[in-house]
Structure 1
C-alpha cells in the first residue's frame, strides 16, 4: 500500500481513483465493509483504491479537553486498512485552518484534482467541510459538478450500528469480548516495554510493563487473559493487568503483561525491555481489587494464570 503524508506525496497524473474519507478509528467491521466496497469498486473500474484519513483526530482539535481516547494509533490504522487490500492511504494533517475549508474546497483540493476521482464511497451520514456543511446530498452535487460518482453505504450492524463510540463504551466497561465482536478481532495496544518497580518479579510473576505512551484505548481496570506479541513476531499467552494495583500504595495506572508457558524460548533469550510489543485483550477475568497481604495476592495471581490458560486453550 502506498502511504502519502500530504498532497505532495501523490505522484503526478494519479488516478483514476475510487476514494473514501473518514477517521476509521479502530478499523472495525463497519469500516471494513466500506473499505471492501472501495477496493471492489476500484477493481471494477480499473482504478486505484484510496483512503483519506486525518491526523490528529478532528475531535482532538475541536474539543481538546473532551476528545475521546483513540482506539488505535496511526501505525495500527495503516496496518489494518492495508489488510483489506487498499492501494493507497492519504493522511491529512488536521488543524483549525484545514477545518475552515468549505465543502467544495475540500473535495476539489483533496479528492477531485490530486486523485482524479471517478467515484467516492461514503456513508449516508457523511459530514465534511467548514462547520460540517457538507453532507451526502452535497457530495452528490459536487460529484455531478466535478465528474465523479457517489456511492452510498448503509450502516453495518444488526441491533446497533457498528461505531468507534460503541467500541470505546465496551472497552471502558471492560467488555473486551463485546469490543472484539464489533472490531472483528481482539482489541490491542502497542507500545514499548519499560522497566517497572519489579514487584511482579519479586512475587514470582515478572511482567512486561507498557510505556505510558503506548497506543490504543486502555480498557477498564482489571485482569485479562490475552496475548503478547514480541518484536520477533512470537505470540505468547499472557495474564494482563490494567490499573494501579490497590494492594500497593503510590502505584500509577499501568498496563502490564505476565507471559506464561514460555516453552519455545530460552529464558536468557526472553528480554522484552525496549521492544515494541503488541498486547491483545481476549477476556476479562476479574476487576482490580486490594488484597490483605502478599500471600493472598500471590494466591490470586496463581489462579489468574490458570484461568488464562483455560481461556486461551485451543478449542476454547
Structure 2
C-alpha cells in the first residue's frame, strides 16, 4: 500500500480512484463495512483512503495528547493492506496545506485527484477546528460532479460502533465486547525485554512487553490470550495460548503498568523478539496476595481455568 503524507498540496494523480474519507483508527466493523461498500464501485479504480492525521484528532489536555491509539501506524498499514486499500492520503496539518478554510482546501485540492466516487460514513468526524462536515462533502461533490455515497453508521444493539466505544470496553476489561466491534481480538505488539525474572523463579516464566506505550491499555487483570511470535528472515510465525497479566503486580508492589505473558507449555528464549498478544477473555482482577505461595497457587488455578476456557484441559 502507498502511504502519502500531504503537507503542502495533494500530489497530482491521474489514477482513477474510489475515495473513502474517514479516520479509520481501529479498522472496526464500521470501517470494514465502509470499505466493502467502496469496493462495490470499483472496476479498474484503486481503493483510496483520505484522512486527517490522527495526531490532530486526538484530544489534548494541557498541551499533551491524552488518548492512545487502537492501532499504531505499523498495524494500521497491515490492516489497510489486509482490507484491500491501495493508497492512503494523510493530511498531517491543515494549516500548513493552505491559508484557506479546510472546506476550501477540499474544493481546490481534490481536483488534483481523479476521483470517480467518494464514499463516506454519515458519522465521519474530522480533525478538530476544521470546517468540514459530511454535508460539506455532499455539496462539494455536487459542484465537482463526483458521485458520493453516504453510508449509515454501523450499530450493535442500537449503539453506534465507534473507536471511542471500543476504548471504553478495553479500559473496562470488556475484551470480548471490543472484539465484537473490531471484528477480531484486540492486539498489542511489542519487543520482549528482560524483567525481574520473578515469574521464572515461581515456575511461570513470562515475556515482558516493551514499546507498547502508543496503545490503549486494557484494564488491569489476568487475561486468556493468544500470542504470536513473529517469524524473521522468512520464517513463519508461531502461535501459543497464554495467560497475560496486564497491570501493576500488586503482590510485588509494582509501580508501573506492565504487560507480561506466560505462554502455556512453551519452552524457549523470547528475549528481543517481536510478539503480539491478542486478548480473548478476562479471567479476573489483579489480586494482592500475602506472600508468594498464595500467588503460585492462584497461577496454577488460572492456568487450569484458561485451558478449560480454551477447551485444551488435559493437554500436556
How far, CA to CA, are the matches of 2:292 and 2:128 in structure 1? 58
Q: CA RMSD in A?
A: 2.6
How far, CA to CA, are the matches of 1:99 and 1:76 in structure 2? 30
SS in 1 for 2:40: helix
How far, CA to CA, are the matches of 1:168 and 1:121 in structure 2? 25
Distance verdict in 2 for CA 1:182–1:132, change over 3 Å? same
Q: For this pair of structures, how many residues does the alignment match?
A: 306
Are the equivalent residues in 2 in contact too, given 1:34–1:122 (CA < 8 A)? yes
Are the equivalent residues in 2 in contact too, given 1:226–1:279 (CA < 8 A)? yes
Specify the alignment match of 2:296 in structure 1: 298
Structure with the higher helix share, 1 or 2:
1
Deviation, structure 1 residue 14? 3.1
Specify the alignment match of 2:234 in structure 1: none
- 1:1-316 alignment to 2 at 5 Å? 1-6=1-6, 13-43=13-43, 46-60=44-58, 63=61, 64-65=63-64, 67-94=66-93, 97=96, 102-108=101-107, 111-113=110-112, 115-128=113-126, 131-158=129-156, 159-232=158-231, 233-262=237-266, 267=267, 270-313=268-311
Distance verdict in 2 for CA 1:36–1:105, change over 3 Å? same
SS in 1 for 2:260: strand
Are the equivalent residues in 1 in contact too, given 2:4–2:88 (CA < 8 A)? yes
Instruction: Identify unmatched segments of 5+ residues in structure 1.
Output: none
Instruction: Identify unmatched segments of 5+ residues in structure 2.
Output: 232-236
TM-score relative to the length of structure 2: 0.88
How far, CA to CA, are the matches of 1:29 and 1:213 in structure 2? 24
SS in 2 for 1:241: strand
Are the equivalent residues in 2 in contact too, given 1:195–1:209 (CA < 8 A)? yes
Deviation, structure 1 residue 95? 6.5
TM-score relative to the length of structure 1: 0.88
Distance verdict in 2 for CA 1:9–1:284, change over 3 Å? farther
Deviation, structure 1 residue 69? 1.9
How far, CA to CA, are the matches of 2:173 and 2:100 in structure 1? 39
